[in-house]
Structure 1
Amino acid sequence: MKRFQIPAYGSPPTLVETPTPIPGPREVRLRIAACGLNFADLLMIEGKYQERPPLPVTLGMELAGTVEAVGPEVDAELTGRRVAVFAGSGGLAEQGCFPAARCVPLPEAMTFADAAAFQVAYGTSHVALDHKARLQAGETLLVLGAAGGVGLTAVEIGKRMGARVIACARGAERLAVAERAGADHLIDTDHADLRDAVLALGGADVVYDPVGGDQFTAAMRACNPEARILVIGFASGDAPRIKANHLLVKNLTVMGLYWGGYLAFRPEVLTDSLATLFQWYDEGLLRPHVSHTLPLERSAEGLDLLRTRKATGKVVICMDQPA
Structure 2
Amino acid sequence: MKALLCKQYGLPESLVLEEVPTPSISKKQVLISVKACGVNFPDTLIIQGKYQFKPAFPFSPGGELAGVVKAVGEEVSHLNIGDSVFAMPGWGGFAEEIAVDASRVFRMPAGMDYSVAASFMYTYGTSYHALKNRAQLQAGETLLVLGAAGGVGLAAVNLGKIMGAKVIVAASSDEKLALCKAYGADECINYQTQDLREALKNLPESNGVDVVYDPVGGAFTEPALRSLNWKGRHLVVGFAAGQIPSIALNLALLKGCSIMGIFWGAFVEKEPKANFQNIQELFDFYQRGILKPHIQKTYNLSEAPQALHDLTQRRAMGKLVIVP
Give the TM interval when normalised to the shorter protein.
over 0.9
Structure-2 residue corresponding to 1:5:
5
Which runs of no fewer than 5 residues in structure 2 stay unpaired?
A: none
Q: Which deviates more, 254-263 or 85-94?
A: 254-263
Q: Residue by residue, what CA displacement relative to the aligned partner does 1:233-283 show, whole Å, maximum 9, x if unpaired? A: 000001111211110001010001111122332222322211111111111
* Counterpart Cα distance in 2 of 1:34 and 1:252: 40
1:207 lines up with 2:209 in the alignment: no
1:244 lines up with 2:246 in the alignment: no
1:140–1:88 distance in 2 versus 1, CA, 3 Å: same
- 1:197 to partner: Cα distance: 1.5
1:217 lines up with 2:219 in the alignment: no
Q: Residue by residue, what CA displacement relative to the aligned partner does 1:89-127 show, whole Å, maximum 9, x if unpaired? A: 011100000011111111111000000011100101000
Q: Residue by residue, what CA displacement relative to the aligned partner does 1:283-319 show, whole Å, maximum 9, x if unpaired? A: 1111110001111111011111101111100000112
* Counterpart Cα distance in 2 of 1:138 and 1:126: 17
CA contact (8 A) 2:72 2:79 kept: no
Name the TM-score, length of structure 1 as normaliser.
0.96
Identical counterparts, % of pairs: 45
CA contact (8 A) 1:196 1:222 kept: no
1:273 lines up with 2:275 in the alignment: no
Q: Residue by residue, what CA displacement relative to the aligned partner does 1:155-199 show, whole Å, maximum 9, x if unpaired? A: 000000000000000111010011111100000001111112112
1:19 lines up with 2:45 in the alignment: no
* Counterpart Cα distance in 1 of 2:39 and 2:79: 30
Q: Residue by residue, what CA displacement relative to the aligned partner does 1:50-78 show, whole Å, maximum 9, x if unpaired? A: 11122212110100001110112113852
1:104 is aligned, of 106, 126, 137, to 106
* Counterpart Cα distance in 2 of 1:281 and 1:234: 28
Q: Helix, strand or coil for the counterpart of 2:47?
A: helix
Q: How many residues are matched?
A: 319
* Counterpart Cα distance in 1 of 2:246 and 2:35: 41
CA contact (8 A) 2:286 2:292 kept: yes
CA contact (8 A) 2:37 2:65 kept: yes
Structure-1 residue corresponding to 2:68:
66
Give the aligned residue type for 1:2: K
Give the aligned residue type for 1:174: K
Name the TM-score, length of structure 2 as normaliser.
0.96
2:39 is aligned, of 33, 37, 40, to 37
Q: Give 1:247-262 correspondences, 5 Å limit.
A: 247-262=252-267
* Counterpart Cα distance in 1 of 2:78 and 2:208: 54
CA contact (8 A) 2:63 2:91 kept: yes
Give the aligned residue type for 2:10: G
Q: Which deviates more, 239-248 or 268-277?
A: 268-277
CA contact (8 A) 2:170 2:190 kept: yes
* Counterpart Cα distance in 1 of 2:66 and 2:80: 14
CA contact (8 A) 2:144 2:168 kept: yes
* Counterpart Cα distance in 2 of 1:216 and 1:301: 29
1:117 is aligned, of 109, 119, 127, to 119
Ranges of 4+ aligned residues in structure 1 off by more than 6 Å: none
CA RMSD in angstroms comes to 1.2
Q: Which deviates more, 161-170 or 96-105?
A: 96-105
* Counterpart Cα distance in 2 of 1:143 and 1:46: 27
Structure-1 residue corresponding to 2:317:
312
1:175 lines up with 2:177 in the alignment: yes
CA contact (8 A) 2:158 2:292 kept: no
- 1:86 to partner: Cα distance: 1.1
* Counterpart Cα distance in 1 of 2:180 and 2:207: 20
Give the aligned residue type for 2:5: Q
